[in-house]
Structure formats: C-alpha cells, structure tokens
Amino acid sequence: MATHNELGIEGEKLAVNHLKSKGYEVLETNYRFQKAEVDIIAQKNDTLAVVEVKTRTSDHFGNPEEFVNKKKINLLVKAIDNYVNDNDLDVEVRFDIIAILMQKSDVTINHIEDAFYHF
C-alpha cells in the first residue's frame, strides 16, 4: 500500500478516536455513494457531523484543511443527503473537517466544526 494511503488510514483512526473522546457516536466510516466517499459520519445529540479527514506530514504546501475543494464539498453534500434520506433521519447536519498534522513524533489534531457551508 502506498505511504499516503497508510497515512490517510492512520489519520482516520486518530479522527475516530478524537470524536469518540468528545462524546460522538461514530455511525459510519468510509461511507460511499456514487463517486463520493465520506470519511466519517458521527452523531452527537441531534447533530449529524459529516467529517472530512485531511492528514499531512507537513504544512509546507498549506494546512491540511485547505485541501478540501468545492468539488469534494458538493460530493459530500450529495452523499449525506442520500444517507439522511435512506436512514429517515431527523437531525441537523453539520460539515466538519478534522485536520491532522503528523510531523515526526508530534501529532496535531484540529477539529473544525461547521468548516464549510453546503452550496
């Protein structure tokens, strides 16, 4: 497996643990719908958190959260709309980013709630 894939998997594990430690129930990981993949779907109270995880080893080219583009956002919105309808959920939906920077032995986790507005 390519190193960047291993880094992404490790980042998603860290993100899941972070969410659980904050009282979220993780409902799905790597949920797929058409061309979209939602890294994590979690719930806390009446809020469904749709979480995109971005993991990097350096911020040389920018912070991890800066790599979520408009195309990805639109795919996430379409996927979560399907998820909410299929599961007949009555919840508020929020789009979060968990940005993880893994530099040598230093790991920084930045959970950005309401990271973007769906268009």
- Domain coverage including residue 68: 3-112
Please indicate, yes or no, if residue 14 is contained in any of the structural domains: yes
119 lies in a domain?
no
Domain count, the chain: 1
76 lies in a domain?
A: yes
Does 105 map to a domain? yes
Residue 54: CATH number of its domain:
3.40.1350.10
Give me the pLDDT at residue 4, please.
62
Is 42 domain-assigned? yes
| Secondary element (H or E) of residue 39 | strand 36-44
Is 31 contained in some domain? yes
For the beta carbon of residue 42, count every other beta carbon within 10 angstroms.
23
Burial of 98 (0-12, 13-18, 19+ CB in 10 A): buried
C-beta separation of 102 from 13 below 8 A: no
pTM of the model: 0.89
Which DSSP string corresponds to 16-28?
Answer: HHHHHHTTPEEEE
**Is residue 54, in this structure, part of any structural domain at all?**
yes
pLDDT in tens, 2-58: 566 788 889 999 999 999 999 999 999 999 999 999 999 999 999 999 999 998 887
Residue 117 lies in a domain: no
Residues 6+ apart with CB under 8 A from 99: 54, 55, 56, 63, 64, 65, 109, 110, 112
On the question of pLDDT at 83 being above 90, the answer is yes
- Per-residue model confidence as pLDDT tens digits over 34-50: 999 999 999 999 999 99
**Type and span of the H or E element at 60:** none
Q: How many beta carbons lie within 10 A of that of residue 4, not counting itself?
A: 11
